[in-house]
Amino acid sequence: MKKDELPKVIVITGPTATGKTRLGILLAKKYGGEIISADSMQVYKGMDIGTATPDTQEMDGVPHHLISTVEPTESYSAARFVKEASEIVDNIIKRGKIPFIVGGTGLYIDSLLYSRSFMGSNPQLRKEFSERYDREGAQAMFDLLSKCDPESAGRLHINDKKRIVRALEVYYSTGKTISAHNLESKMRKPVYDALWIGLNYKNRKELYERINKRADNMIANGLVDEVKALLASGVSRNSTAMQAIGYKEIVAYVDGEMSLDEAVETIKQQSRRYAKRQISWLKGKRGINWIIWENGPEYQKACHCSTKFVEDYGIL
């Protein structure tokens, strides 16, 4: 199928704390669209403060999907996101509406747009290889990997147990190497014709200041109590949900492993590092229509620019 024949969607993305949620709501309201969250942590229930999940008032009547839909005791994955999000996007398009994919989880967005396939997991086989690694030693397992997947062996350190075990698990489960799976994913053609709108700050220092302020606001708005409530409800400290930035640091504070000031500073540091990774991912994307904030978000100007992007793209 040619690109101009593919279903059209709008992607609003950028590093954390750049105003994606607000702009997405404004544009979706303007065009009668619906929002699919592409945030790997907003999908969890009861994690509103630490993930900056919009409340009903902020949503302003715009339908939102994949927000607060999964119990924090569950492990959500990119594969599950693609399955659920693609069904939602297709349904929105069938109803004559515009899907707005809003968020900063790059793996989720890329996987949805290209309908990426995922390597399955085999916990039993993984356990067996992990035990063999401990029993027979790193060299023996590295040699085994070198025979069945020399490409992976060439880029992994002999002591990287986790990745060596995973590579062996994939090969012995599927008959294909991780490298082959990744190559197949890269060669997949898009299933949607996406208009990309990216948000960022001209001055990196200003972005970091906004990230730091957001962390302080989360504490002021009750993040500590939110984490305590999750733990009290039975959510494991080792769950996927509790690995989110902001949550694992507060868990450490609750457990007496660091002071609140140390936890907050770590949240800020990890959030800045995450923003850098998001920016690196975006640099590899072509055709993004950038809106660059110079003195903080100016949403009316952003809406005006975005309207031109949408009209020029012919998505209406």
3-state secondary structure the chain: CCHHHCCEEEEEECCCCCCHHHHHHHHHHHHCCEEEECCCCCCECCCHHHHCCCCHHHHCCCCEECCCCECCCCCCCHHHHHHHHHHHHHHHHHCCCCEEEECCCHHHHHHHHCCCCCCCCCHHHHHHHHHHHHHHCHHHHHHHHHHHCHHHHHHCCCCCHHHHHHHHHHHHHHCCCHHHHHHHHHCCCCCCEEEEEEEEECCHHHHHHHHHHHHHHHHHCCHHHHHHHHHHCCCCCCCCHHHCCCHHHHHHHHCCCCCHHHHHHHHHHHHHHHHHHHHHHHHCCCCCEEEEECCCCCHHHHHHHHHHHHHHHCCC
CA 39 – CA 104 distance, rounded (Å): 6
Sign of the four-CA dihedral 295, 268, 111, 72 = negative
How much is the pLDDT for 2? 58
CA 220 – CA 216 distance, rounded (Å): 6
CATH number of 3-116+188-313: 3.40.50.300
How much is the pLDDT for 60? 97
Q: Which fold, 123-186?
A: Histone, subunit A (1.10.20)
pLDDT tens string, the chain, 316 residues long: the values are 556 689 999 999 999 999 999 999 999 999 999 999 999 999 999 999 999 999 999 999 999 999 999 999 998 988 899 999 999 999 999 999 999 999 999 989 999 998 776 766 788 898 999 999 999 999 999 999 999 999 999 988 999 998 899 999 989 988 889 888 777 766 678 999 999 999 999 999 999 999 999 999 999 999 999 999 999 999 999 898 999 999 999 999 999 999 999 999 999 999 999 999 999 999 989 899 999 999 888 999 899 999 889 888 888 7
The domain limits of the chain are 3-116+188-313, 123-186
